[in-house]
């Protein structure tokens, strides 16, 4: 069976392309052309049943991902399914299953089965857990462990996979020579870097890239080239290790596209505000405008408990500057496994950042949404305002708790509502003599 990219290059408009076109208010031909070129990806594994395809990339609405999944501390899958439901309810376009608990296969299969949005995975997590159980240490992991895990997750229906193919010996050595405060903070990046340094061998994800492409082509898995060298603090941003990896990822984009495999590229991380635009432009240049998927970026390191805000500040600028896909950050970032409330806050906050960028990017309907809200506020139409809110439940709750029933103004201004006062003068009929 052909991939979405292969069919697009043959001039075929698939059902997935039609669905994306409908959602984005664009013509199916625009979507087909973008997929054929590689600037749009539609992650939709042939084995993910019940999926509503979404597009990521050039000219499309900025998408939002929510990370969920079990851990060794919290191994039960039921709470993660609740988080999945909450993320979808809040408007997430994707979820990533980052499970490392006792039964990773069960977690992944149930999340994919219950998810109407695209699901991403990180196969190296499961391969690492397997290596510890079977061989006693991460560094004893074999190439077969990795490739078998990738194929298993592809068969199960993972729509996109984060694979840290660009963490090469050269990138690690450049990072070490320049020096970093936080070294490597990516879990997948640290696993593979540790394996490489212990075994004195090149990254097997890089060496066996063609075998990975075979798997992705078979199941139409979108390859999400992971940023294993991403900076873990603002002081480490845009260094030699990060950029060496990015150059390698650009070369791997070319190889994937030659095979007709869809690709996204992942990016930082912790980045000072004044470096964000340059980072986005570098990725787009080196990776030929492949869709760019970023974590944040977080613009400061000092806000644990509020990192959803530091990520939103960076996320809007990143998306205005070229990023296409924002991975949410929750208030629990750097602190704990997120709760369902953290998931809610993380998704809504990232959606705000994405929408602010959509208005600037010229995404159809983005500016109109804000205009409708302004028109509703102008006439104090509370029902319309609450319906248009990005988080209607929270807006209704606050409105109901802090205002008397039927009150036209809000309790902040009360009798001194500026909108109400000025409307008495601006909205009354003008005297003909003033024309």
- Confidence band (pLDDT; 50, 70, 90) for 427? low
Structure confidence by residue, pLDDT tens digits, 240-274: 999 999 999 999 999 999 999 999 999 999 999 99
Please indicate, yes or no, whether residues 313 and 393 belong to a single structural domain of this protein. no
Assigned domain for 66 exists? yes
Please indicate, yes or no, whether residues 131 and 208 belong to a single structural domain of this protein. yes
Q: Is the pTM of this model over 0.85?
A: yes
Total domain count, the chain: 2
Which residues are documented as binding site for substrate? Answer: 67, 96, 125, 164, 186-188, 227-230, 266, 293
Assigned domain for 7 exists? no
Assigned domain for 102 exists? yes
Please indicate, yes or no, whether residues 79 and 221 belong to a single structural domain of this protein. yes
Please indicate, yes or no, whether residues 244 and 354 belong to a single structural domain of this protein. yes
- Confidence band (pLDDT; 50, 70, 90) for 425? confident
Please indicate, yes or no, whether residues 203 and 305 belong to a single structural domain of this protein. yes
Please indicate, yes or no, whether residues 294 and 165 belong to a single structural domain of this protein. yes
Domain termination site, one of 334, 361, 388: 361
Assigned domain for 6 exists? no
Please indicate, yes or no, whether residues 159 and 90 belong to a single structural domain of this protein. yes
Domain termination site, one of 339, 361, 383: 361
Please indicate, yes or no, whether residues 376 and 351 belong to a single structural domain of this protein. no
Please indicate, yes or no, whether residues 337 and 384 belong to a single structural domain of this protein. no
CATH number of the domain within which 232 lies: 3.20.20.540
Assigned domain for 301 exists? yes
Assigned domain for 27 exists? no
Domain termination site, one of 313, 345, 361: 361
Please indicate, yes or no, whether residues 342 and 424 belong to a single structural domain of this protein. no
Amino acid 173: pLDDT: 97
Assigned domain for 45 exists? no
Please indicate, yes or no, whether residues 294 and 412 belong to a single structural domain of this protein. no
Which residues are documented as binding site for Zn(2+)? Answer: 270, 334
Q: Which of 132-141, 226-235, 356-365 has the lowest mean pLDDT?
A: 132-141
Q: Which of 217-231, 298-312, 403-417 has the lowest mean pLDDT?
A: 403-417
* Mean pLDDT in residue range 370-387: 95
Which residues are documented as binding site? Answer: 67, 96, 125, 164, 186-188, 227-230, 266, 270, 293, 334, 410, 413, 417
Which residues are documented as binding site for [4Fe-4S] cluster? Answer: 410, 413, 417
Structure confidence by residue, pLDDT tens digits, 85-128: 999 999 999 999 999 988 999 999 999 999 999 999 999 999 99
Assigned domain for 18 exists? no
Q: 187 lies in which domain range?
A: 62-361
Please indicate, yes or no, whether residues 187 and 105 belong to a single structural domain of this protein. yes
Three-state SS across the chain?
A: CCCHHHHHHCCCCCHHHHHHHHHHCCCHHHHHHHHHHCCEECCCCCCCCCCCCCCEECCCCCEEEEEECCCCCCCCCHHHHHHHHHHHHCCCCEEEECCCCCCHHHHHHHHHHHCCCEEEECHHHHHHHHHHHHHCCHHHCCHHHHHHHHHHHHHHCCCEEEECCCCCHHHHHHHHHHCCCCCCCCHHHHHHHHHHHHHCCCCHHHHCHHHHHHHHHHHCCEEEECCCCCCCCHHHCCCHHHHHHHHHHHHHHHHHHHCCCCEEEEECCECCHHHHHHHHHHHHHHCCCCCEEEECCECCCCCCCCHHHHHHHHHHHHHHCCCCEEECCCCCCCCCCCCHHHHHHHHHHHHHHHHHHHHHHCCCCHHHHHHHHHHHHHCCCHHHHHHHCCCHHHHHHHHHHCCCCCCCCCCCCHHHCHHHHHHHHHCCCCCHHHC
């Amino acid at each position: 069976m052909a991939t979405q990219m292969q069919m697009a290059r043959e001039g075929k408009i698939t059902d997935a392309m039609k669905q994306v076109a409908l959602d984005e208010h664009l013509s199916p031909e625009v979507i087909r052309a973008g997929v054929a070129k590689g600037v749009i990806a539609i992650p939709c594994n042939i084995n993910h049943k019940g999926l509503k395809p979404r597009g990521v990339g050039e000219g499309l609405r900025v998408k939002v991902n929510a990370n969920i999944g079990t851990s060794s501390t919290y191994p039960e899958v039921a709470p993660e399914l609740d988080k999945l439901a909450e993320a979808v309810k809040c408007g997430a376009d994707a979820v990533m299953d980052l499970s490392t608990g006792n039964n990773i296969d069960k977690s992944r299969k149930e999340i994919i089965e219950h998810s109407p949005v695209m699901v991403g995975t990180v196969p190296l997590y499961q391969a690492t857990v397997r290596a510890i159980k079977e061989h006693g240490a991460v560094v004893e992991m074999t190439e077969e462990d990795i490739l078998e895990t990738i194929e298993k997750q592809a068969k199960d229906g993972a729509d996109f996979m984060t694979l840290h193919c660009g963490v090469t010996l050269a990138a690690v050595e450049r990072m070490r020579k320049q020096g970093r405060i936080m070294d490597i903070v990516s879990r997948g990046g640290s696993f593979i870097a540790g394996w490489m340094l212990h075994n004195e061998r090149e990254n097997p994800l890089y060496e066996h890239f063609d075998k990975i492409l075979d798997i992705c082509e078979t199941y139409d898995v979108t390859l999400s080239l992971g940023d294993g060298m991403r900076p873990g603090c603002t002081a480490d941003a845009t260094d030699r290790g990060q950029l060496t990896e990015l150059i390698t990822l650009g070369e791997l984009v070319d190889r994937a596209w030659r095979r007709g495999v869809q690709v996204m590229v992942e990016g930082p991380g912790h980045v000072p505000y004044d470096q964000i635009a340059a980072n986005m432009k570098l990725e787009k240049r080196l990776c030929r405008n492949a869709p760019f998927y970023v974590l944040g970026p977080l613009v400061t390191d000092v806000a644990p408990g509020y990192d959803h805000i530091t990520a939103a500040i960076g996320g809007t600028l990143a998306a205005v500057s070229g990023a296409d896909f924002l991975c949410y950050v929750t208030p629990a970032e750097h602190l704990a496994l997120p709760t369902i409330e953290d998931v809610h806050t993380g998704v809504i906050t990232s959606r705000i950042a994405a929408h602010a960028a959509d208005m600037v990017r010229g995404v159809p309907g983005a500016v109109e949404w804000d205009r409708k809200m302004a028109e509703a506020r102008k006439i104090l139409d509370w029902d319309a305002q609450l319906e248009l809110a990005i988080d209607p439940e929270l807006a209704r709750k606050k409105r109901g708790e802090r205002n008397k029933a039927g009150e036209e103004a809000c309790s902040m201004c009360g009798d001194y509502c500026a909108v109400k006062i000025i409307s008495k003068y601006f909205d009354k009929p003008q005297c003909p003599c003033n024309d």
